[in-house]
Structure 1
């Protein structure tokens, strides 16, 4: 910690405060926007400090020789920094009003304070905090509000810097505005105003988070912890809080300290749990269930029974899921904590089990298929359809409803999200996935951030399956060797994203998580046929109260019909069974009415003008 204190003494204030130091010489007014409700690293006499924006601004003015800062906001009225009897007497005489009394701050009263401070013969400044709350709508000002900002605009152009006795140069007594966004104040007041400096406050970077983690370390780590171990924990804490504010880090440290029961070996887990709870709430974490690791050991056999004919795809998907369970997804990256738990890109022929495997993985990891969230990306082919995912922007119909994707993740942060047929989405919509895959978060139309750090994302695609050679014949068929199938599908995915969509960065973020499915082989087609027939007959017995058995020759007839063309996979087999078995069986049972016997055998399927006819005995 001593080294940290020395670094703070030698260090510099944040860039936005250094910009304020310059603006005191050049601009009468300054507007701060962006990350204005955070805490900020400011060097103090004995170490780093973490003040809010008011404290940070005052630290800058104090170093520049200012005597006090008047802080005005529409809730608490007028206050002072520093708040001492001597300063209070001087300031109250200057601005002509009591400080610290609270009460509503009218535009007229605030304008009086601003004028007196800006034109004072003592070095001072005025900070208007929550400035956007002074008005109802910046686009439609009330007469009193319009007069207030018109007077402030004129003051910005007419105020002159002053040189006080004993000072080397001239400085303004600044008027400082704190707002959330650039458009929170009237555009005619802020745009093209050379006397108003606009300063954006960014989110903290990794260096800021590491320094803050060092400051907070004494509340989390044993005092006798070796320096190497300490550095490791500090780095992990900074990585776990990617995309969060320094204020969030303070809250996470407080949460972790309250939940710390064990020693050094539990520290990392406690910090990770606290960061997760801060992001997504106190929800049971299925990724940490001890039974999940046991389930993964024996999952291969169960998944192969459910997704027939895809042993390679099942094994590859399980590898990626296992990596997610261990928390090692993207381990080669410098900051992985906020990224999604795992990413899978299922590619291959239609009807071969891509969606079925996604459902099976949902049940395996989360124990509940309700954690499965599906988006058909063919519905998002238009650019404006992005509003459905994240919500309409402010001012548009449905703005307050939020987005389908952001709402779903907010309600179920631990879930599997399936984006079906991703290649059919508009390229601009795919830009949203860049942020999700890289930062693990997304901001909806209302400005709220949702986190995908505990979600498993699955994309499906049929890219490459319609490619044809010069003679118009399909390049890929059920007879294509697997190595050739994988190479061609993977290459087509790369070409599609890099050349047609011009989104090579999306492919980079998916990485090696592409899982290619096989065509349905003859043996697998027979197994799928048996599974679907059993499912149909079981449903008939439950719904119609009669048990139907297929004669051997009828079963063979149906099998030959259903598996004659396996290019459409299990979905094609199901379609044939619906036409040749379900429809005629439904007509025959309907004709029997209440007289249907408890057990029957299907002994004949006869072609007819209206379709197949079933013979039941």
Structure 2
């Protein structure tokens, strides 16, 4: 091969475009068809020289400029909406348009008229003329939205199967075309399939076929986002970014906060900011609106700081006997309210606003504290969403969270978790008894905890950056001995510091040794909040609150003023709080069986009128049957 053959073609230099287009350009001599799949609707950054300003091009424009630089006369594009057309960028001159149309008419004299929707049979004939040209003219055909050609890549109709069989054979019989100048090496006139996913085309079309090259189009990296952010800053009146420190910082933050988004999304976010009259320093608000689709941000409400401050007094009244757990939870919420979650990272983080792992014995207030957090932050307990992870013990149950994959029953419905967060991004999400979930389902939380986003079964991205995630677990209350038998690990007589140390050690052992998921444990970090057993004083307070709730409910439902004599109250308290291991839930269960049930029986038999004053004067036990005496 001569030196002339190796030089870079005119048009876009081989080092200017994204890696995938450089791969495409370099392999034109050896592949007759290409499958470009993935991020095909994005804008793509082209750096033509160190001194020139980078440009943003659509995929068809990028392909055409690359092909033109390699000596191609025109790019034909077919899509199911606009039909067949010769593609030219928006700024093309009339001369360029006439030259491309003339070349297309010369090479493909029987091509359908522009804008028509050719059948698969007509498209086959067109591809054949292009792949084995009668004249030495270089041209390419891009089939846009190729994912929609077949109803199902795995279940082709006869006409679809015949079409793709023809395409597979054509890829092997295509003839490369030489040129008199420029890039004189023979190059194929390629068919370029533009698809959403690689699997949208039949697998047998590309498998074991060296003539068809599959190239993925990834989302842009940080470098591309930084360059794009610098381009977009001029919309805010910034002309010399290098000498404007606030603009430089805003630019860097913009690039970091759009991790996972496309360059086109960055353009749309900038337009949104301009429409909302936001400054460049307020771009994070525009990003949030773009991702979540909501204007109001509860985390920035003026009264939030006061609510959290008040919560230091109100939550201990609601979650009794857990001062350490309440204090640590409020510390994490303060950090979230100030936007300092993940502040130790070198770049801006889209992680959830708060992550809490509540560990402790049953009935000590873990779920109640999660509800209290929801009420405190969002002033609405309906923002609390609970998943009982014991229902997700089977691997396939994970489809309930994010939705079934394409082709499976229920695919259109989406997932319970992703749908709920998409509808209301500001939530407290409780995953109760997380240790009962299948390990494969736990893997789904890795992306949420690290990146604050999750892709559902329909391919849509759901953002958790404004949510608080709460995981609860009984891990550590029991451990296995050397024989694999469960033994008690903590008990009520231990000091809290020892309970905390033992529980955390057991949780760490479970995630690392049993599950083999140390990376998930690392995502929780120091957000593991250990709850203590309910002591006698706390049990008495819980009993008093629950008994008062019963008295209030009788008045609300029946209009009866109920009074419980001190002797009855004391006897009930002693019998309902004698087992601290059962926690607050155990107290409630004991109250229901020993007081609510006999009270309901007595009220039902007596049937007092609304407004009556009824006193409970005594409890009577006959075996397992408890009765109350009313006066």
> What TM-score does the superposition give when structure 2 sets the normalisation length?
0.92
1:467-482 equivalent positions in 2, closer than 5 A = 467=479, 474-482=488-496
Aligned to 1:349: 361
Deviations 1:322-381 (A, max 9, x none): 111111111122344422111111111111111111111101110111100000001111
Aligned to 1:278: 290
Residue 9 of structure 1 deviates from its aligned partner by 8.5
Gaps of at least 5 residues in structure 1 are: 1-7
Aligned mate of 1:187, from 200, 203, 207: 203
Tell me how far apart the structure 1 counterparts of residues 240 and 21 of structure 2 sit (CA, whole Å): 36
Q: Confirm whether residue 200 of structure 1 aligns to residue 200 of structure 2.
A: no
Aligned mate of 1:130, from 136, 145, 159: 145
Tell me whether 181-190 or 302-311 shows the greater mean CA deviation. Answer: 181-190
Q: Confirm whether residue 114 of structure 1 aligns to residue 127 of structure 2.
A: yes
Aligned mate of 2:446, from 415, 430, 434: 434
Deviations 1:176-195 (A, max 9, x none): 11111112122222222111
Gaps of at least 5 residues in structure 2 are: 1-11, 89-95
Aligned to 2:266: 249
Q: How many residues align?
A: 605
Aligned to 2:463: 451
Aligned to 1:212: 228
**Preserved contact between residue 80 and residue 99 of structure 1 (Cα < 8 Å):** no
Tell me how far apart the structure 2 counterparts of residues 610 and 96 of structure 1 sit (CA, whole Å): 97
Aligned to 1:65: 71
Aligned to 1:334: 346
**Preserved contact between residue 576 and residue 591 of structure 2 (Cα < 8 Å):** yes
Aligned to 2:83: 77
Aligned to 1:14: 18
Aligned to 1:4: none
Tell me how far apart the structure 1 counterparts of residues 260 and 237 of structure 2 sit (CA, whole Å): 23
Residue 475 of structure 1 deviates from its aligned partner by 3.1
Residue 260 of structure 1 deviates from its aligned partner by 2.6
For 2:57, what is the secondary structure of its paired residue?
A: coil
Change (3 A) 1:560 1:469: farther
Q: Confirm whether residue 37 of structure 1 aligns to residue 41 of structure 2.
A: yes
Tell me how far apart the structure 2 counterparts of residues 335 and 437 of structure 1 sit (CA, whole Å): 16
Residue 457 of structure 1 deviates from its aligned partner by 0.5
Deviations 1:301-325 (A, max 9, x none): 1111111111111111111111111
Change (3 A) 1:89 1:335: same
Q: Confirm whether residue 413 of structure 1 aligns to residue 425 of structure 2.
A: yes
Change (3 A) 1:473 1:26: closer
For 1:419, what is the secondary structure of its paired residue?
A: strand
Residue 595 of structure 1 deviates from its aligned partner by 5.7
Q: Confirm whether residue 148 of structure 1 aligns to residue 163 of structure 2.
A: yes
For 1:579, what is the secondary structure of its paired residue?
A: helix
Change (3 A) 1:10 1:37: closer
**Preserved contact between residue 220 and residue 256 of structure 1 (Cα < 8 Å):** no
Residue 387 of structure 1 deviates from its aligned partner by 1.0
Tell me how far apart the structure 1 counterparts of residues 156 and 486 of structure 2 sit (CA, whole Å): 66
Tell me how far apart the structure 2 counterparts of residues 201 and 208 of structure 1 sit (CA, whole Å): 14
**Preserved contact between residue 37 and residue 198 of structure 2 (Cα < 8 Å):** yes
For 1:189, what is the secondary structure of its paired residue?
A: helix
Deviations 1:420-441 (A, max 9, x none): 0101100000011001111211
Tell me whether 104-113 or 510-519 shows the greater mean CA deviation. Answer: 104-113
> What TM-score does the superposition give when structure 1 sets the normalisation length?
0.94
Tell me whether 442-451 or 76-85 shows the greater mean CA deviation. Answer: 76-85
For 2:581, what is the secondary structure of its paired residue?
A: coil
Tell me how far apart the structure 1 counterparts of residues 110 and 507 of structure 2 sit (CA, whole Å): 69
Tell me how far apart the structure 2 counterparts of residues 464 and 552 of structure 1 sit (CA, whole Å): 39
**Preserved contact between residue 79 and residue 99 of structure 1 (Cα < 8 Å):** no
Deviations 1:544-594 (A, max 9, x none): 332221111111111111121111111111111111111111111111024
1:384-423 equivalent positions in 2, closer than 5 A = 384-423=396-435
**Preserved contact between residue 242 and residue 335 of structure 1 (Cα < 8 Å):** no
Aligned to 1:524: 538
Tell me how far apart the structure 1 counterparts of residues 99 and 177 of structure 2 sit (CA, whole Å): 23
Deviations 1:495-546 (A, max 9, x none): 1111111111101111111111111111111111110110011111222332
Residue 11 of structure 1 deviates from its aligned partner by 5.6
Q: CA RMSD in A?
A: 2.1
For 2:355, what is the secondary structure of its paired residue?
A: strand
Q: Confirm whether residue 160 of structure 1 aligns to residue 175 of structure 2.
A: yes
**Preserved contact between residue 84 and residue 117 of structure 2 (Cα < 8 Å):** no
Deviations 1:449-491 (A, max 9, x none): 2111111111111111123779986331112111111111111
Tell me how far apart the structure 2 counterparts of residues 126 and 9 of structure 1 sit (CA, whole Å): 22
